[in-house]
Structure 1
Amino acid sequence: MNYHSGALRRSLFLALSALAHPVAALADSTQDTAVAGPVTVLPAVTVSADKVDRPLEKVPASVAVIDGQDIEQSGITTMEQLEGRIPGLSFQPFGQAGMEAPVMRGLTAGIHSYASSMLMLVDDVPTMMAQGFENSFLDVDRVEVLRGPQSTLYGRNAEAGVIAIHSQPMDEVSRATVSTDIGSRDKRELRFALSAPLVADTLYGSISGAVLKQDGFIRNTYTGGKDDDRDHQDLNMGLRWTPSEATDIVARYVRQDYDDGATRWGNVGDPRAKVASGTPSWNHSLGQTLSVNASHELDSGLRLRSITAYNDYHDDVLQDTDFRPAQTLYIGRDNHMRTLSQEFRVEGQMGRADWLVGLYGDRGDNDLRNFTLRSPTFYDYRANLKTSSVALFSNWNLPLTDAWTLSAGARVERMTAAISPAGGTHKSEDWEYFSPKLTLQYQFNPQNQWYITAGRGVRAGGYNVFVSTLDYPSYAPEEIWSYETGFKGWVLDQRLRYAIDTYLMKIDNMQVQVQVQPAVGLIYTASAARATAKGVELDLDYLLAEGWQLLGGLAWNRTTYDSFQDGTASYAGNYNSFAPKLTGHADVRYTAPNGWYAQAGVVGTSKIYLDPANRYERNGYGLVNLVTGYRKGDWEVATYANNVANKRYDAVGYNAGYYTVYSPPREVGLRLTWRK
């Protein structure tokens, strides 16, 4: 059955109608509700959207938050599961673990641009490309998603927003969690998290990890097996040192190891989820990060902060692309990408105003290799891509009166890219960006505010590192001006938290995929389009009655090309690739006093186009997900069903019409958790 934009609307309506026949809930992850008594107000939420801790309702920006309890009970263990759960956020359908290209407010970046339209921060460690844009959400305190340009504070590659993942703190509280999960397709998963003080008031440590094995669902009729098995290992380690009350130093190491089978691809027109591949396909990628986050508060009240991070990702993949027994077509990647970044900043207060000034720099060293067999010819493309940037930024929050606040910030950044292709000529180019932002906020009563903001976002320029026939052409930075206004706050005696905003973005030098003369059939990235994006976003968290809670959100976006000439074809008026009109979710939860809980929800998006000509598409979908469980003492058992109706939302015609990216089928399972 084909689901388009109406699918999400119908699914959201059905989920909301479930209020008349409640079937869902959420258990308290820290205390027994029978002891704690009924919850009558929603809990306060603190975020650090502007690098300063503030209540969610006080931040003059579009921010969505999922706390660790919600993540754990909803079974969110991959970045892709945030699609729709954060209205406005989705991902390009690619089908390979560890490779996620985000889409926010209609903006996204190509896989081979080695840049991203959104920045991912995991405990302040940046990931700026689709390669390694993944997280297993181990021992997470909360996930903050900032929608809209954040280039002023976070630089290039935050033009559409930021996903900030915050781990549980290391402190005097000892914690231990072990969880096992068995499910469909012989799924076996073990997750654990431990945190404890090592030396009282001085040294703390944490370790968490996960091991996942699961059979695939794409049948290989040639080998008789399943091609897309999944085998992941994750490890996070942390150490915190507080030599004094004024000094705090946190070191972290994170490792993501993949030993997977094939990408979830097949031929367009072939029977669904069936291949006859004679070429073994695999993903042996490995990601590692190491970081040190240090802060010190001076006697004057100034706070100094230093964030040093090293990110290393090895993208190691072989993929059959004819899906036939004979070895005639395949592609492979052997890319090694390394980024070292350093941020220094000073934070302080001046009367009622708070401010920060920072200096940021990074250096990337990427050894890139793409190879392909197009029988009888084997092509091997190699290049080294070096990048560097340095930036100075500042942000001020200035109360004008008791009700009015002005926030102003600016960033000046210089970025250099240099390519050294094998057998080619070394080339380099640099760009300078200025990214200002101005926000006016009106607190019309203590619990509700209105804001209006204007700002500039930038995505880095770069090189087409594998397009030798056109001498490795460069493309310019993508630039946007964004205008946004919104309301947010509490109503109904703090039982309903809401946020609604609307925005308009004008995009210049839009980085798009083009196919032009003189190399007919050659597809590469160029700054060849102008576009307009506009939309509305809504988030709700409603405490309906004792034990009952409704969470929901909906985002509407329309991103179309104002001008885009691809050879003789004009795509003016077409929709941007991978940008859905609608994304959203609705969840109803119920917590019983005796420890039982249940949750029912729907999440989905409308259809997306896979190419600028809008010829190929992935149909829209609405997925129903169910969880029910029981908690007693330190133990919890839960059953779950994801994609209950087994909806299919394959991307048919991915990569200029060549492939189908298969959507995963229904999954049911049992999860047993012990926590202390």
Structure 2
Amino acid sequence: MNLRNSRIALFVGVGLLSSTSAFAQAGPSAASPSDPAPQADTSGQAAAPAQSEGFEDIVVTAQRRSERLQEVPLAISAFTDRDIETRQINSTLDLVNYVPNLIGHNNTGLATANTYALRGLANTESISTFDPPVGTYIDDIYISRQAANNFQLFDVERVEVLRGPQGTLFGRNTTGGAINVVLRAPGETFGGYADASYGRYNRVQLRGSVDVPLAGGHLLTKISGYYVSADGYVHNEVTGQRLNGENSWGVRGAVRALLTDTVHWDLSADYIRARGSNLPNFYDPTTDRRVSFTPLRTDTPIGSSLVSSQLADNTLGNDARTYMLTSNLEVEAGDATINVITGYLHLYQEYITESFAGLNSGSVTFDGVNFLGGNRGTATPLVNDSWSRQFSQEIKVSGNAFNGLLTYVGGIYYIHEDNETNFANISIPLAGQPVVSGDRIMYNDTEAYAGYFQGDLHLTRQLTFTAGIRYTDEKKTIAFTPNDSPLPRSSAVNQPFDTQDLIDAGIPTELRSRVWTPRFALQYAFTPDINVFVSATRGFKSGGWNSRAYYATGAQAFRPETIWSFEGGLRSEFFGHRVRVNLTGFYYNDQDTQLPGGGFDPTTNTITYLTRNVADQRNYGLEAEISVNPIRRLNIFWSAGIQRASYHNINQLTLDQQDRCLSGIIVNNCNAGIITPTGDIAKPTRAPHFTSTLGANYSFDLGNRLSLQPSVNWNYTSGTWVATSNDPRGFQPAHSLFNAGLTLRSGSGWSLGVECNNCFDKTYITSFLIYPYLNNPGSWMVRARYEF
């Protein structure tokens, strides 16, 4: 589908949905005696029926204060706990099915890490010297590292996806946007839920939560947890093991102390151990199964004969352990509310990935996603131990002034992050001596201070002018220590180095950024249910180092990237809140775009990693989110995105690389970075011209307080590149996915359901490093739930 046809389809769809609903029903009707009884939520309180009259208001905190979704002049996709259940959103990665212009998948090798591309801005690198452009927040706490950002949504009140830069109120590393997860606070009455599921690949999933009020209702407590176990879906043809399984669990405790009528204190602690891998694998059409040929095992340590002593106990796979402490003290002081927000997060991760999957990469052949054959070859383990410790402190003030003329939010923010990464890259041939490209420890720290303020000046009852500004002062440092490796070097270039070697090479070991990120918006409300806005926002993403280098001069620093984004939008509801139409148009210019890349170097038989500023990236597009409630108990929704991204102002280093490629120096010049195999400038990755999700759910009243609720959705993504250099093997043609579910509910709190994700088991490409990385296969699950 080309861009012109995509636009036509989008606008025609808007018209059809709106006009159809106009004839369906002009407004809500009175509740009938046959309506299903209210369902109990996890706090034990009565919730609305599964299908209410019109659409409920969704309260969001996208501007760091509570507001109705329809009144916020931002591009936001918001999902309530009911949406999360109905649309089968089990983890943050499932959000990509429902957000316009959002593409996401597991990182190469790591199923605990999600890579997001929002409006074409992406990051496929999980190492700590490279920051993501889509920030993740849990209860107002920024999660710096994407190594464990694939959260299980087991006790969530709401998820908000903010599209576009959020540099004023959320700060650095949100050039693409932000994912804001709001966990459910302890309830005021005793209650909870228990949920048990079983599915494909012997997947067992258990979830539960209970609220217990104490001290006469002045101390509210909650404990919740989950457990997931699943067999691997990949057959290792060499060892006989199953790969890419999952075994994870987590527990969370939360307390809300109601100290006075105007003061309450929220405290929480959680621990999550997530074990899951995304090792490269191939779809074998002759056996209809996923296969791998790596000689490495999940139950055998790699050993001190191959890597330094601290890494010797690592096995194939990934194990991430996270604990997090949060505190939010809220004080209401007249027309102002003060929040003192504190967060501490500790992440430990160890893994081995194997990018060659035990094959000779030159012998592997494909027909699309179908594996045709390949010969056994060198294994290339990346062995990693890493620690990340993060502390943040924020004081936020929000409220109204001048008799409601000004609504504001402002504050000060501090974050400190320490990272230590011990990692080795080795090559193990079928016969002969293994070699090492690098075995070293990297230390990198970040310290940042910020102050921000945003005010909404209500010029008239209908017209509001918003202006905001944030100042960020950030310092990053880096240091290296080589490990004693038992192996010879893979080449004369790949030699041990330390921090002094970087200094001698002229590479800075400290980076400093001082950046202002303003925002301006103008909003006009024609009616309480129809408003339009225009905005201009600046954001930035931190600089860093090419820290996977095998020698000192390769660990080059790269600059921060900055973005100006311009948006215009419509927020509207019609016909008694039965039709909701939200449209957003955008254009941005992202300067000094940071691009990570990896490729095979045939001269050393190793993977070469390179991250640098390659060019400016521009993108423009249109996004639509439309919901219709044409008749009682029927919801229809459609989200769609159109975009066209391209590179401009190509960096001189990239132009020099292009010249070498065109002059016949192929290795590490052609088919590397953003230079295509033929020497052209590539198109940006993960920026499909058109994405669309169309879905519906209905509630059949069966009587006796029973209801049957089917749901279905169709997700379409047009063709897109996943290889940064536009390697032909890294193009994913247009594809469709279908998800469906059926739930039997009782007014007494129990429910039984069956669901499938990727119901027709579509196989497609999500990433590319040496070989295409494939999506997870389709899944089904049966579920029993009881709410009390």
TM-score (norm 1): 0.91
Equivalent residue for 1:83? 96
Aligned residues: 662
- Residue aligned with 2:445, SS: strand
- Residue aligned with 1:152, SS: coil
Distance 1:320 1:241, change over 3 A: same
For 1:268-288, what per-residue CA distance to the aligned partner results, in whole angstroms no more than 9, with x for missing partners?
999862112221221111122
Distance 1:555 1:36, change over 3 A: closer
In the TM superposition, what is the alpha-carbon distance from 1:171 to its structure 2 partner? Answer: 3.2
Distance 1:203 1:34, change over 3 A: closer
Q: Equivalent residues in 2 for 1:118-133 (5 A)? A: 118-133=134-149
Q: Equivalent residues in 2 for 1:166-185 (5 A)? A: 166-185=182-201
**Contact preservation (8 Å) 2:456, 2:466:** yes
Distance 1:673 1:268, change over 3 A: closer
- Residue aligned with 2:622, SS: strand
Q: Name whichever of 585-594 and 177-186 sits farther off.
A: 585-594
Q: Equivalent residues in 2 for 1:584-623 (5 A)? A: 584-594=692-702, 595-615=707-727, 616-623=730-737
**Contact preservation (8 Å) 2:342, 2:394:** yes
AA aligned opposite 1:412: Y
- Measure, in 2, the Cα distance between the counterparts of 1:136 and 1:230: 12
Q: Is 1:424 the counterpart of 2:499 in the alignment?
A: yes
- Measure, in 1, the Cα distance between the counterparts of 2:91 and 2:49: 32
**Contact preservation (8 Å) 2:105, 2:775:** no
In the TM superposition, what is the alpha-carbon distance from 1:401 to its structure 2 partner? Answer: 0.8
Distance 1:448 1:200, change over 3 A: same
AA aligned opposite 2:548: F
- Measure, in 2, the Cα distance between the counterparts of 1:322 and 1:531: 31
- Measure, in 1, the Cα distance between the counterparts of 2:40 and 2:161: 24
- Residue aligned with 1:150, SS: coil
**Contact preservation (8 Å) 2:206, 2:227:** yes
For 1:299-355, what per-residue CA distance to the aligned partner results, in whole angstroms no more than 9, with x for missing partners?
x43221111111212221112333338874211221111111111122231122111
For 1:100-154, what per-residue CA distance to the aligned partner results, in whole angstroms no more than 9, with x for missing partners?
1211111112413431111111111211332122211111111111111111001
Distance 1:304 1:510, change over 3 A: same
Q: Name whichever of 508-517 and 179-188 sits farther off.
A: 508-517
For 1:373-418, what per-residue CA distance to the aligned partner results, in whole angstroms no more than 9, with x for missing partners?
1232123132100111001100101100111000110001011110
**Contact preservation (8 Å) 1:216, 1:227:** yes
**Contact preservation (8 Å) 1:619, 1:651:** no
AA aligned opposite 2:563: I
Q: Is 1:638 the counterpart of 2:753 in the alignment?
A: yes
Aligned counterpart in structure 2 of residue 560 of structure 1, from 646, 656, 677 = 646
Q: Equivalent residues in 2 for 1:511-526 (5 A)? A: 511-513=594-596, 522-526=608-612
Q: Per residue, is there more strand in 1 or in 2?
A: 1
For 1:2-22, what per-residue CA distance to the aligned partner results, in whole angstroms no more than 9, with x for missing partners?
x999999999999x99x99xx
Q: Is 1:415 the counterpart of 2:529 in the alignment?
A: no
Equivalent residue for 2:62? 49
In the TM superposition, what is the alpha-carbon distance from 1:370 to its structure 2 partner? Answer: 2.3
Distance 1:419 1:37, change over 3 A: closer
Q: Is 1:40 the counterpart of 2:53 in the alignment?
A: yes
In the TM superposition, what is the alpha-carbon distance from 1:593 to its structure 2 partner? Answer: 1.7
**Contact preservation (8 Å) 2:579, 2:627:** yes
Q: Name whichever of 107-116 and 642-651 sits farther off.
A: 107-116
Q: Is 1:405 the counterpart of 2:464 in the alignment?
A: yes
RMSD: 3.2
- Measure, in 2, the Cα distance between the counterparts of 1:248 and 1:330: 50
- Measure, in 1, the Cα distance between the counterparts of 2:2 and 2:274: 33
- Measure, in 2, the Cα distance between the counterparts of 1:380 and 1:430: 28
AA aligned opposite 1:337: S
In the TM superposition, what is the alpha-carbon distance from 1:620 to its structure 2 partner? Answer: 3.4
- Measure, in 2, the Cα distance between the counterparts of 1:130 and 1:579: 20
- Measure, in 2, the Cα distance between the counterparts of 1:192 and 1:327: 45
Aligned counterpart in structure 2 of residue 254 of structure 1, from 265, 270, 274 = 270
**Contact preservation (8 Å) 2:280, 2:354:** no
Q: Equivalent residues in 2 for 1:296-311 (5 A)? A: 296-298=331-333, 300-311=334-345
Distance 1:279 1:421, change over 3 A: same
Aligned counterpart in structure 2 of residue 100 of structure 1, from 90, 106, 114 = 114
Equivalent residue for 1:243? 259
- Measure, in 1, the Cα distance between the counterparts of 2:37 and 2:444: 49
- Measure, in 2, the Cα distance between the counterparts of 1:267 and 1:629: 34
Equivalent residue for 1:582? 690
In the TM superposition, what is the alpha-carbon distance from 1:28 to its structure 2 partner? Answer: 6.7
**Contact preservation (8 Å) 2:37, 2:49:** no
**Contact preservation (8 Å) 1:92, 1:103:** no
Q: Which has the higher contact order (CA 8 A, sep 6+)?
A: 1
5+ unaligned residues in a row in structure 1: which ranges? 21-25
5+ unaligned residues in a row in structure 2: which ranges? 22-35, 298-315, 359-375, 429-433, 482-497, 504-508, 659-673
- Measure, in 1, the Cα distance between the counterparts of 2:105 and 2:781: 27
Q: Is 1:369 the counterpart of 2:422 in the alignment?
A: yes
Distance 1:75 1:606, change over 3 A: same
Equivalent residue for 1:460? 542
AA aligned opposite 1:311: L
For 1:220-247, what per-residue CA distance to the aligned partner results, in whole angstroms no more than 9, with x for missing partners?
1122231121111121211111111111
Q: Is 1:136 the counterpart of 2:248 in the alignment?
A: no
- Measure, in 1, the Cα distance between the counterparts of 2:233 and 2:632: 42
Equivalent residue for 1:649? 764
Q: Is 1:276 the counterpart of 2:311 in the alignment?
A: no
**Contact preservation (8 Å) 1:8, 1:604:** no
Distance 1:182 1:340, change over 3 A: same
In the TM superposition, what is the alpha-carbon distance from 1:670 to its structure 2 partner? Answer: 0.8
- Residue aligned with 2:70, SS: helix
- Measure, in 1, the Cα distance between the counterparts of 2:734 and 2:395: 44
Distance 1:290 1:195, change over 3 A: same
Distance 1:33 1:290, change over 3 A: closer
- Residue aligned with 2:461, SS: coil
Equivalent residue for 2:531? 449
- Measure, in 2, the Cα distance between the counterparts of 1:147 and 1:286: 29
Distance 1:8 1:196, change over 3 A: farther
Aligned-residue sequence identity (percent) comes to: 20
Equivalent residue for 1:23? none
TM-score (norm 2): 0.79
Distance 1:628 1:504, change over 3 A: same
Equivalent residue for 1:662? 774
In the TM superposition, what is the alpha-carbon distance from 1:514 to its structure 2 partner? Answer: 6.4
Equivalent residue for 1:334? 385
Q: Name whichever of 375-384 and 546-555 sits farther off.
A: 375-384
Q: Is 1:539 the counterpart of 2:653 in the alignment?
A: no
Equivalent residue for 2:447? 388
Aligned counterpart in structure 1 of residue 329 of structure 2, from 270, 294, 299 = 294
Q: Name whichever of 408-417 and 90-99 sits farther off.
A: 90-99
Q: Is 1:194 the counterpart of 2:210 in the alignment?
A: yes
Q: Name whichever of 340-349 and 404-413 sits farther off.
A: 340-349
